[in-house]
Amino acid sequence: MAITEAPPPQGERREADGARRRQSASSLVLTMLLLLVVVAQGPIRRVLAAPAMESWMTVFVAVVVQALPFLVLGVVLSAAIAVFVPASFFARALPKRPALAVPAAGVAGAVLPGCECASVPVAGALVRRGVTPAAALAFLLSAPAINPIVLTATAVAFPREPRMVVARFVASLVVACAMGWLWHRLGRTDWLRPPARPSAEGLGKGAAFWASVRHDVMHAGGFLVVGAMVAATLKAVVPAGWLRAAADQPVVSVLVLAVLAVLLSICSEADAFVAASLSQFSLTARLAFLVVGPMIDLKLFAMQTATFGRGFALRFAPATFALALVVAALTGAVLL
């Protein structure tokens, strides 16, 4: 007796047809884009050869190349935390009281050898694993600024100013803990919305790990590229003469370098060398550059939006900027 296979359910057929149509549409768009590039290659070459465009490309590539290795490090750590570390570990490792868990997480940020691109996905994983958001946010802010690689780079960039290393460590840790405590007091649960994770049900630990890595690289990587494009655009259009004029005003210079840190979006492993090159500015102004940059810049704002939601980023980023600016100025006045 011949056995006939039952046709797939109508819903499955519609879903398969939709997937095929989307794939065909994507292929068509890609083909048309490639044809457009081939046809317009002459004008594209002329545009790319312009000095402003060369500057834009240099900044864009520099931001992405600096950040991407640490973004990969962050998503690998994030996936490892999500898959291999039991939730009970964090309950044992951190104090149960959020007020004490915040400084503990802030100090723990010193052990992550990465920049802000690594700390964002790790902080997201901590929240998903049950760590109080206040402690995870303290870790997010402190890790890029007080880890050994960043402090060593700062010491190398400022060989005659060892006080800069101390000032950066103190100011960054104070801001991280203060923002954690502020979130604990005033933050609301509905402001913090980590994105949904791919289901790992039925997968082994290895398969779940790589599924999480792929998800985070695609999710956060796109926002990193957007942030780098905006930073490169601003870098290409801001006249250099504005910086020279601002350096002559002590109060204005602190604000200008804090804003510049946000716009340039430099990786925290490299920002000390950029700050050292801005020798026309005071040490306090350059400290503001070093404290603000690892905590909030364009690419970091985009990544925070991707990881925790737009409502969170729109509240957290301005508060972090204002507090980091004030703490950096006060720390510079006392230590520098």
pLDDT band at 321 (very low <50, low <70, confident <90, very high): very high
Q: Residue 304: pLDDT above 70?
A: yes
Q: Phi, psi at residue 91, to the nearest 5°?
A: -65, -35
Task: Name the range with the highest mean pLDDT among 34-48, 134-148, 315-329.
Answer: 315-329
Q: Residue 269: pLDDT above 60?
A: yes
**What would the 3-class secondary structure string for 255-322 be?**
HHHHHHHHHHCCCCCCHHHHHHHCCCCCHHHHHHHHHHCCCCCHHHHHHHHHHHCHHHHHHHHHHHHH
pLDDT band at 320 (very low <50, low <70, confident <90, very high): very high
**What would the 3-class secondary structure string for 3-51 be?**
CCCCCCCHHHHHHHHHHHHHHHHHHHHHHHHHHHHHHCHHHHHHHHHCH
Q: Residue 282: pLDDT above 70?
A: yes
Phi-psi region of 202 (alpha: psi -120 to 50; beta: other; left: phi over 0): left
Least confident of 21-25, 75-79, 82-86: 21-25
So what's the pLDDT on residue 21?
65
Q: Residue 267: pLDDT above 80?
A: no
pLDDT, average across residues 49-73: 75
pLDDT, average across residues 17-44: 67
Q: Residue 133: pLDDT above 90?
A: no
pLDDT, average across residues 277-300: 89
CB atoms within 10 A of CB 38: 9
pLDDT, average across residues 49-57: 75
So what's the pLDDT on residue 223?
65
Q: Residue 50: pLDDT above 80?
A: no
User: Residue 236: which residues within 8 A CB-CB, separation 6 or more?
Assistant: 52, 55, 56, 59
How far apart (Å, rounded) are the C-alpha atoms in residues 146 and 175? 12
Q: Residue 276: pLDDT above 70?
A: yes
So what's the pLDDT on residue 2?
47
Name the residue type at position 312. Answer: F
Q: Residue 152: pLDDT above 90?
A: no
Q: Tens digits of per-residue pLDDT, 195-232?
A: 555 555 556 777 778 877 776 677 667 766 776 777 77
- Selected residue with higher pLDDT from 58 and 289: 289
* Residue in 301, 250, 246, 291 with CA at minimum distance from that of residue 271: 291
Q: Residue 4: pLDDT above 60?
A: no
How far apart (Å, rounded) are the C-alpha atoms in residues 210 and 153? 32
- Selected residue with higher pLDDT from 65 and 192: 65
* Residue in 122, 151, 117 with CA at minimum distance from that of residue 139: 122
So what's the pLDDT on residue 202?
59
How far apart (Å, rounded) are the C-alpha atoms in residues 219 and 160? 42
Alpha carbon 243 to chain centroid distance?
A: 26
- The token duo for 269 is 């492993």
pLDDT, average across residues 119-139: 82
| pTM greater than the 0.75 cutoff | no
Alpha carbon 12 to chain centroid distance?
A: 39
